[in-house]
Structure 1
Amino acid sequence: MASIEVGRKCIKTAGREAGQECEIVAIIDENYVEVKGDGVKNRRCNIQHLEPLAE
């Protein structure tokens, strides 16, 4: 998976919020990160359900 780091913008690819843009705010462990965004609640998310955006 492309670089998963705090501050990285992503698109959610699974779940109710699929297609929404979010930002990684914390790394929980090797499988989960905490994300937040305008249309995304502040919650943990599996990194396999995120698609990082090009910088």
Structure 2
Amino acid sequence: MALDKGMKCVLLAGRRTGEIVTIEEKIDDNFVKVKTQKGKIRKCNITHLEPL
């Protein structure tokens, strides 16, 4: 799964399930930093994301 900066995704797991986020940067092979619709930057596992 190729997740690039600026892609819109939906979160599939955790307390934020269903939230739409934007990818900000790739940390390593498993994690990316995402920006929520409210503007917060969070670390997220790529297996918990599905591209829109």
TM above 0.5, yes or no, is: yes
Query: Residue 6 of structure 2 corresponds to which residue in structure 1?
Result: 7
Q: Note the residue ranges of structure 2 that are not aligned, 5 or more in a row.
A: none
Question: What value does the CA root-mean-square deviation take over the aligned residues?
Answer: 1.4
- % identical equivalent positions: 48
List, as ranges, runs of 4+ consecutive aligned residues in structure 1 with deviation greater than 4 Å.
none
The one-letter amino acid of 2:17's match is A
TM-score by length of 1: 0.85
* TM-score normalised over the length of structure 2: 0.89
Does the 8 A contact of 1:17 with 1:39 survive in 2? no
Say whether the 8 Å CA contact 1:21–1:40 is kept in structure 2.
no
Ranges in structure 1 where 5+ consecutive residues have no aligned partner: none
